[in-house]
Chains A and B, each alone.
Chain A
């Protein structure tokens, strides 16, 4: 089960209700149940990596835009800025954690039939 902090991160990355023609976000497309399956199935390094990525996103990313953590204190626009700053960090590990977060979300989100339909995917 996602912690409240992890939910904040997921919501900031792919907000519920979607946008730009994508009809939904991660949580309202069932990311939570995917996450449980991921926790059961993924190799230890990947599970720990994702936990570390959530922690870094929640506690570290605000510092990258000179705001006090945690991420939940920030307004939605600043949350997005903080997370994007992870992707631009000079620290390779921080960039990798951000990529891992996006990858884990997309393993669920990109397979969601309504998302695929919005992208034009025929199946």
Chain B
């Protein structure tokens, strides 16, 4: 059942479980809980956007699908946009559906440094990944839909003898229309809005959209349900009682804010905010690239994932987002635009050491984040190797987009990137993949939730999204988020 908050009046209802958030975590938990026969409500702050409403234009998509029109930013030495989906299905609607199982080397610190080997056992996660990959028909991006910008990374990596492969994705029927970022118009991408949410609804789950949870209602040390407001005219209230539990799956930004608004107090709440900063580079080729043909992110290079803590990914962006990065003003800018059909974009995705914070602010979440010297060293190395990959693939020039360096670098000049300024403000970055703001720990003093996903000191309140991750993971996290949420849901059924 679907309740559309844009048209709703006041609502009061009761369920076994109330899940806040409909993205990778919330929908995966809903899939497991609804399957068990429990009554489930999923509450999504954003709208339900039908496939037919998707457009390949950035501005309407940002308005409709992204938090804060994609202008939410973390501040520190640099202002860094933080991209989050805000619609039914969350970020899975606007990401590139990339599938990575949590590598053992990234899981090991969870076990060895954070004592979570039993709470988040890798073997059980693999079992859940098997299930998800079967259900969502995960497959590597086939060559037929690589397009030139993906194929060239293959060529460059082969020449450098660097490990690279077509990305595995939840998009078996992808047509290579390069529109992941603005919502797949063909329904090929198995976002949660296309997969686990309809499944949960078919099993009786209720989904509320345009419904913003303000806080968890506590009675003593017990979570009774959630209180919130619909986004419709007059912002009517809703109150959902949860007989067995409230599950927060609202993301590493919103989950700690809801916990704070609910009176949860922990020195770790909103701290340890971690992410994967992304820094893109434009490569210019003599041959036409036609970035609009090919799977949005169909190839990635993981050769330096462990040694350098970064991955290099292809990405296709609509003209709106590329033209602004081209140099110049006036006629010189228009001249630069002629190169758009010959441009490919590859980006460094950094597994940063940096930890920031999420706090409530006057106009929304206040995010603080600053890359340190180790991160900047890895970023510069990543950018140099990205340029080398481009040149190995035949690029005639790259536009590094780094303040303090020439606008263009030509073959033989990639080394300059390693000597770029040691100042985060010199780089154009975005933050995606957010973690750690309500982290799990077996020690009461070590985190916000325990190994059972329960918020310490409160019965019936659980966090099941990437807020619980004690570290960032260096690979695209949707697959891990889904498996961890399913693991949590399984445990709740068991208990």
B334 in complex: contacting residue of A18, A43, A116, CB < 8 Å: A18
Asked if A123 is an interface residue, CB under 8 A from chain B, the answer is yes
Chain B residues with Cβ below 8 Å from A96 are 79
B374 interfacial contact with A, CB 8 Å: no
B58-74 with Cβ < 8 A to chain A? 58-59, 62-63, 68-69, 71, 73
Q: Which of B319-355 contact A (CB under 8 A)?
A: 319-324, 327-335, 337-338, 340-341
Among candidates A20, A46, A92, residue contacting B69 with C-beta atoms closer than 8 Å: A46
Docked-complex contact A119 and B341, CB < 8 angstroms: yes
Chain B contacts for A109, CB-based, 8 A:
320, 323
Chain A 77-96 near chain B by CB (<8 Å), digits 1 or 0: 00110011001000010011
Specify which of B319, B330, B363 is in contact with A110 (CB 8 Å cutoff).
Answer: B319
Whether, in the assembled complex, A107 has its beta carbon less than 8 Å from a beta carbon of chain B, the answer is yes
Judge whether A19 and B334 touch: CB under 8 Å: yes
Which of chain B's residues has its CB closest to A81's CB?
Answer: B329
**CA A26 to CA B321, docked complex, whole Å:** 16
With known contacts A43-B71, A120-B341, A110–B333 Cβ distance under 8 A: no
Q: Which residues of A contact B363 (CB under 8 A)?
A: 43-45
B334 touches A22 (CB 8 A): yes
Query: Are B334 and A115 within 8 A (Cβ)?
Result: no
* A56 close to chain B: CB less than 8 A: no
Which residues of chain B are within 8 angstroms of A14 by Cβ–Cβ distance? 330, 333-334
| A15: Cβ under 8 A from any B Cβ | yes
B78 within 8 Å of A (CB atoms): yes
Chain A residues near B327: list those with CB within 8 A: 87
Closest to A121 in B: B292
For chain A, give the interface size range.
35 or more
Q: Is the CB of B323 within 8 A of A110?
A: yes
Nearest residue in B to A109 (C-beta to C-beta)? B323
Shortest B361–chain A CB gap in Å is: 10
Q: Look across to chain A and name the residue whose beta carbon is closest to the beta carbon of B289.
A: A120
CA–CA, A34 and B322, complex, Å:
19
Q: Which residue of A lies closest to B57 (CB)?
A: A111
Which of B71, B324, B329, B338 contacts A20, CB < 8 Å?
A: B338
A46 and B71 form a contact (CB under 8 A): yes
Nearest residue, chain B, Cβ from A108: B59
Contact with A along B283-294 (1 / 0, CB 8 A): 000001010100
Asked if A13 lies at the interface with its beta carbon under 8 angstroms from chain B, I say: yes
B59 touches A120 (CB 8 A): no
Contacts of A121 in B (CB 8 A): 292, 319
Query: Is A110 a contact partner of B71 (Cβ separation < 8 A)?
Result: no
A46 — nearest CB in chain B belongs to which residue? Answer: B71
Chain A residues positioned under 8 Å from B324 (CB to CB): 99, 102-103, 105-106, 110
User: Within residues 5 to 52 of chain A, which ones have a CB less than 8 A from any CB in chain B?
Assistant: 12-15, 18-22, 34, 38, 41-46
Residue B56, interface by CB 8 Å: yes
Min CB distance A11 to B, Å, is: 9
> B57: which A residues are within 8 A, CB to CB?
111
Q: What are 12 contact pairs spanning A and B, CB under 8 A?
A: A15-B331, A41-B69, A42-B69, A43-B363, A45-B363, A46-B69, A46-B71, A96-B79, A99-B428, A102-B323, A102-B329, A109-B320
Residues of B within 8 A of A (CB): 56-59, 62-63, 68-69, 71, 73, 78-79, 288, 290, 292, 318-324, 327-335, 337-338, 340-341, 363-364, 403, 425, 428
Binding site for B on A (CB under 8 A): 12-15, 18-22, 34, 38, 41-46, 76, 79-80, 83-84, 87, 92, 95-96, 99, 102-103, 105-111, 115-116, 119-123
A15-B334, A41-B69 given; 5 more Cβ-contact pairs under 8 Å = A22-B337, A92-B78, A107-B320, A119-B340, A123-B56
Q: What are the 7 A-B residue pairs with the smallest beta carbon separation, nearest first?
A: A110-B320, A80-B330, A110-B319, A83-B329, A106-B324, A111-B57, A92-B425
